[in-house]
Amino acid sequence: MTPEEALALALELHGEQMDKLGEDYVNGHLTRVQAAVSSHNDSVLSIAAALHDVLEDTKTKPEKLFSKGVPLEAVRVIGIVTKRYNEHGEEGYGLFIERIIASGNRNAIVLKLADVNDRLRPVPDEPVADVVARRVPRYELAQRKLLEALRG
């Protein structure tokens, strides 16, 4: 599977899903995250970036990803960056970031950092900007921890 095929699969699995800002999820967030990791020249990382939210935001199971040709290591990375039942809300998000770091999987850490960086990008001054602004401290803390893990 190529990174381009992974993005096409993301489109198939996410369908016409929109993000919290009302933007197309695949052609927005997922495409930006995949582009952000492209400098690493790692096809597994790029494939995982395109599909990183599919287990969390759709009814897709890892077995389906395998059957569609997603490499085992990419599925492993996607699994690491998929939230568990106790990793929602403010406290849960901190547990989520700590678990990713504790995995020691560099691709998962790089991918989550790219995801967090995309969440921190400036947004238009619209009603959703308030929602995004409330999450900035959570993402800034996650960004610091992930960067430290990569340097560490």
Instruction: Give the global pTM.
Output: 0.93
Task: For residue 91, give the DSSP letter.
Answer: H
Q: Who's near 85: CB < 8 A, 6+ residues apart?
A: none
In a 3-state reduction of DSSP, which class is residue 18? strand
Domains, the chain, in order of start with CATH, read 3-151 (1.10.3210.10)
pLDDT, one tens digit per residue, over 59-98 is 999 999 999 999 999 999 999 999 999 999 889 999 999 9
pLDDT digits (tens, 9 = 90+) for 124-152: 666 666 666 677 889 999 999 999 999 98
Query: How would you class 126 by CB atoms within 10 Å of its CB: exposed for 0-12, middle for 13-18, buried for 19 or more?
Result: exposed
